[in-house]
A = this chain, B = another copy of it.
Amino acid sequence: MDKKKISVAVIKRLPRYYRYLGDLLDNGIVRISSGELSKRMNVTASQIRQDLNKFGCFGQQGYGYNVETLYEEIGKILGLDKQYQIIIIGAGNLGQALANYGNFKKRGFNFVAMFDIDPTIIGHELHGIKVQDISSLDVYLSKNDIDIAVLSLPKQNAAKIADVLAKNGVKGIWNFSHIDLHMPADVTVENVHLTDSLMTLSYKISKNRHNYVVEDEED
């Protein structure tokens, strides 16, 4: 069967659809029209119909979309119908915050180990996850099938650790280190550069002070 084509822009909107549909489900809402979803999500109804039709989720005239079906279909596209084994590299505040975030587990993301260099926490459990010595990372990876590694360690060590991960078959890296990683083609990196995000905010709240105007402002 030929695969259907889809654009990056649509893919990027899917997690947001999924989040809104999950909220609707939690509130016991069974069906929703593109118009109503449009109001809640602050995008046009025609955009919604266009996006969702791409996935074969056709709304029915006078009925709208079945929330649960749509939620499950988008979940499948996002890969949320399987379980992921995740390790966290760097057991500081950020690593612990991610390990402790309950919603991830509900969606099939299982945090199974943390690694650190700090001898005062190695061997201890943090949020139910044992902290292991970073020097045992390659041995651990040779014995365990890990899908995703979170990099929440200082940038100085991030590239070296990322290489160890890639060599040992980890296919996804969720990168919180303030460095851009250059990885082999079969390794996917998703960056969360918090400093970049805060700077974008400071740009926006101070932009009236300087001599530039944004010509194609969004939202």
Interface on A for B, CB 8 Å cutoff? 1, 3-8, 11-12, 14-16, 18-19, 41-42, 55, 76-80, 82, 84, 92-94, 96-98, 100-101, 103-104, 107-109, 147-148, 171-172, 174, 178, 180, 182, 188, 190, 192-207, 209-218
Give chain B nearest CB distance to A107 CB in angstroms. Answer: 7
Chain B residues with CB under 8 A of A212: 3-6, 55, 77
Contact A79 B206 (CB under 8 A): yes
Contact A202 B172 (CB under 8 A): yes
Give chain B nearest CB distance to A102 CB in angstroms. Answer: 10
27 sampled A-B residue pairs with Cβ under 8 A: A4-B213, A5-B212, A6-B213, A6-B215, A8-B216, A8-B218, A15-B193, A15-B195, A15-B199, A15-B200, A16-B180, A19-B195, A77-B203, A79-B210, A80-B202, A82-B206, A93-B93, A93-B96, A96-B97, A98-B194, A104-B198, A108-B202, A148-B201, A148-B202, A172-B201, A172-B204, A192-B192
Contact A182 B42 (CB under 8 A): yes
Q: State the main secondary structure of chain A at its contact with B.
A: mixed
Chain B residues with CB under 8 A of A199: 14-15, 18, 78-80, 107
Q: For A172, give the chain B residue with the smallest CB separation.
A: B205
User: What separation, in Å, do the CA atoms of A82 and B218 have in the docked complex?
Assistant: 25
User: What separation, in Å, do the CA atoms of A75 and B76 have in the docked complex?
Assistant: 42
Contact B6 A196 (CB under 8 A): no
